[in-house]
């Protein structure tokens, strides 16, 4: 099939490349000329394991092309995926849909035969209805179908999540598009993915409900970890004990720093905005947002306690600063709250991240990037393991630095407390 992905961000690029790998002809379109030129050279704008190899392979065999010409790309394609950003509006919790509607207007002028137009971007319920209104101003309704096909990719695992999804959700109000899309996804369905067809509005809500539920699960276990710390119970036992109940499930029950990234913080806020619009109180999600926003403060207080409230001139190392491992994404990472606060209190911060220097800390006083774990921990008073990169999972702290021993605060519970303490280090972790 001939597909056009509009927007070469995370969702558009990963889905486009994977669809081309399944044998479709895919044009990835972006208005950013330099991004498209870089992609043509095989330079990938995001850090995602395995993505670069797939781009190069499919670009060489010409199933994957890149373009800045949106109108022509739409004309050549049967299925158009809208994959542009829907960030949170400034001074509001609702999603900013300007890019979505701008693309809808462009599609509207380029319909030359029947097109399926799909929102893959996360969009609030009823956005599909609005797109339909825009496109039907210039086009007869039998010339197009508007579908919601939310994406459930995780950064760092995106290719695997695309190839082996738990489910594929198609929200459309007509049968024709459903049967075409079932055929498009048949290679994944034959490998075991569940395919469900719902109304368009239901598919839009499934995405927000799923992300909000996962955010709730994480927040729940984070609060349990707070309680465990007070009682002297190991949170890992609680996660295992709860997770083995199939009704609960073990995934997304890892306590850690506040959840971050480009999705959970944004989508939990946006669903509250939708619920306000429809005069419904989603009180659980409201308290999840509050609890998560407060979590960085809780962890900062723990740091003050660990350092006996003396932060000035203390040397603190962060191992990993992104919102999680296997990504270079800094959006809503808890490090963005912790590092500036510690810097303001007079700490000297060194950080190492496998994805390199971060411009986000450029303006913070006494915050330095180091090129290796070893360099970053030299002379440190406190080493904070902030993300769960494999690079940090088997560090021999004892051999790493001779002489002065630092305190370790493992925010991802990577290490066994007993083993680290046996090496002579003071060790703190989350909920144990
Ligand atoms: C999330 C969802 O997991 C995807 O299904 C969804 O497609 C995506 O948002 C999206 O809407 O585009 P992502 O933001 O890439 O994916 O990252 P996650 O792996 O879900 O992690 C989110 C945050 O939760 C991270 O800060 C992570 O460290 C934290 N987390 C996750 C925990 O603290 N504990 C866990 O057990 C799991």
| Predicted confidence (pLDDT) per residue in 313-337, tens digit | 999 999 999 999 999 999 999 999 9
Which ligand 1 atom is at minimum distance from the Cα of 333? Answer: 26
What pLDDT does 91 receive?
87
Name the class of domain 2-198: alpha beta
CA-closest residue to ligand 1 atom 19: 154
Whole-number pLDDT of residue 331: 96
Nearest CA to ligand 1 atom 35: 252
Whole-number average pLDDT of the chain? 96
Residues 6 or more apart whose CB falls under 8 angstroms from that of 211 comprise 122, 263, 264, 267, 268
404: pLDDT strictly greater than 80: no
The pocket around ligand 1, CB under 6 angstroms, is made up of: 122, 151-155, 211, 214, 218, 252-254, 256, 259-261, 263-264, 323-324
Is pLDDT of 17 > 80?
yes
- Stretch(es) of the chain classified as CATH 3.40.50.720: 2-198, 295-429
CA distances from 224 to 25, 278, 358, 369, 410 (A): 48, 32, 32, 33, 17
For the annotated catalytic residues, the residue numbers are 263
Q: What residues pair up with 351 in beta bridges, in sequence order? A: 318, 369
Q: Which tens digits make up the pLDDT trace of 277-314?
A: 999 999 999 999 999 999 999 999 999 999 999 999 99
Fold classification of 208-294 (topology level):
1.10.1040
Residue in 205, 259, 288, 386 to alter for ligand 1 test, most ligand atoms within 8 A of Cβ: 259
Q: How far, in Å, is the centroid of ligand 1 from the Cα of 376?
A: 27
Instruction: From the CA of 150, give the closest atom in ligand 1.
Output: 7
Ligand 1 atom, smallest distance to 152 CA: 7
What architecture is domain 295-429? 3-Layer(aba) Sandwich (3.40)
What percent of the chain is predicted at pLDDT more than 70? Answer: 100
403 pLDDT above the threshold of 80: no
Give the residue among 351, 327, 326 at the shortest CA–CA distance from 338.
351
Query: Do the beta carbons of residue 3 and residue 19 sit within 8 Å?
Result: yes
At residue 392 the predicted structure's pLDDT band, cuts being 50, 70 and 90, is very high
């Amino acid at each position: 099939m001939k597909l056009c992905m509009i927007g070469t961000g995370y969702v558009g690029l990963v889905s486009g490349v994977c669809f081309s790998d399944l044998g479709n002809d895919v044009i990835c379109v972006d208005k950013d000329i330099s991004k498209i030129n870089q992609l043509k050279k095989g330079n990938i704008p995001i850090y995602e394991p395995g993505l670069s190899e797939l781009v190069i392979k499919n670009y060489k065999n010409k199933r994957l092309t890149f373009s800045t010409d949106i109108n022509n790309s739409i004309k050549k394609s049967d299925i158009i995926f809208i994959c542009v950003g829907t960030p949170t509006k400034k001074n509001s919790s609702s999603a900013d849909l300007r890019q979505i509607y701008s693309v809808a207007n462009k599609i509207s002028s380029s319909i030359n035969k029947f097109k399926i137009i799909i929102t893959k971007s996360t969009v609030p319920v009823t956005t599909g209805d609005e797109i339909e209104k825009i496109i039907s101003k210039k086009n007869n309704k039998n010339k197009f179908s508007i579908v919601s096909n939310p994406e459930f990719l995780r950064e760092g695992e995106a290719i695997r999540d695309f190839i082996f999804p738990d489910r594929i959700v198609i929200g459309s109000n007509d049968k024709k598009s459903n049967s075409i899309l079932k055929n498009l996804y048949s290679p994944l369905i034959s490998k075991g993915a569940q395919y469900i067809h719902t109304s368009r509005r239901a598919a839009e809500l499934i995405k927000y409900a799923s992300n909000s539920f996962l955010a709730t699960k994480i927040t729940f276990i984070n609060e349990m970890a707070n309680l465990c710390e007070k009682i002297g119970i190991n949170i890992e036992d609680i996660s295992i004990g709860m997770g083995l109940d199939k009704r609960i499930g073990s995934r997304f029950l890892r306590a850690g720093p506040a959840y971050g990234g480009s999705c959970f913080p944004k989508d939990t806020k946006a669903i509250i905005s939708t619920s306000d619009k429809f005069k419904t109180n989603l009180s659980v999600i409201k308290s999840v947002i509050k609890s998560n926003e407060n979590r960085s403060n809780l962890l900062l207080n723990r740091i003050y306690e660990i350092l006996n409230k003396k932060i000035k001139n203390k040397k603190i190392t962060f191992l990993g600063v992104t919102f999680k491992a296997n990504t270079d994404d800094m959006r809503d990472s808890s490090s963005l709250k912790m590092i500036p606060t510690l810097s303001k209190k007079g700490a000297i911060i060194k950080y190492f991240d496998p994805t390199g220097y971060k411009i986000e800390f450029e303006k913070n006083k006494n915050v330095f990037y180091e090129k290796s774990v070893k360099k970053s921990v030299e002379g440190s008073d406190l080493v904070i393991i902030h993300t769960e990169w494999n690079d940090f999972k088997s560090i021999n702290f004892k051999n790493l630095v001779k002489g002065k021993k630092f305190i370790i605060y493992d925010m991802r519970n990577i290490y066994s407390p007993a083993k680290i303490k046996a090496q002579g280090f003071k060790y703190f972790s989350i909920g144990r």
